[in-house]
C-alpha cells in the first residue's frame, strides 16, 4: 500500500508542509487530552511512527500503548486477532 511513496521517499512530504498548519502544533497540546487513549503501532513500521507513539503515550496522561510485534503500518490487517483483543481489552477497562 505504501511501497511507492516509501520507495520514492515522498511519504512524509504532505505532512512536512501541510496546507493549513495547526497553530499551536498538536504535539504541544497532547497534555490537554483528558480522555482514555490507546496508542497502537506496529514494531516494523517506520521509526518515526514508533517515536510518535512514544511521544503521544508519554504526553497523554493515562494513555495505554501497545506495539504489535509482527506488524508494520496496518496491524488491524496484519494481526487482526491480536488487534481485536487489544481494542476490546482497552474498551473493557473503561467500564
The grid coordinates of residue 19 equal 496546507
CB 40 within 8 A of CB 65: yes
Model pLDDT for residues 26-85, shown as the tens digit of each residue:
899 999 999 999 999 999 999 999 999 999 999 999 999 999 999 999 999 999 999 999
| Amino acid 33: pLDDT | 96
DSSP assignment letter at 26: G
| Amino acid 18: pLDDT | 66
| Amino acid 58: pLDDT | 97
Model pLDDT for residues 10-29, shown as the tens digit of each residue:
666 656 666 777 888 889 99
Residue boundaries of the structural domains of the chain: 34-95
Amino acid at each position: 500500500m505504501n511501497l511507492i511513496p516509501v520507495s520514492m521517499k515522498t511519504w512524509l512530504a504532505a505532512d512536512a508542509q501541510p496546507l493549513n498548519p495547526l497553530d499551536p502544533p498538536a504535539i504541544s497540546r497532547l497534555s490537554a487530552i483528558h480522555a482514555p487513549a490507546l496508542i497502537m503501532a506496529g514494531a516494523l513500521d517506520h521509526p518515526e511512527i514508533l517515536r510518535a507513539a512514544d511521544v503521544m503515550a508519554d504526553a497523554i496522561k493515562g494513555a495505554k500503548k501497545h506495539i504489535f510485534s509482527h506488524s508494520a503500518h496496518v496491524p488491524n490487517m496484519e494481526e487482526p486477532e491480536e488487534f481485536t483483543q487489544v481494542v476490546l481489552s482497552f474498551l473493557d477497562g473503561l467500564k
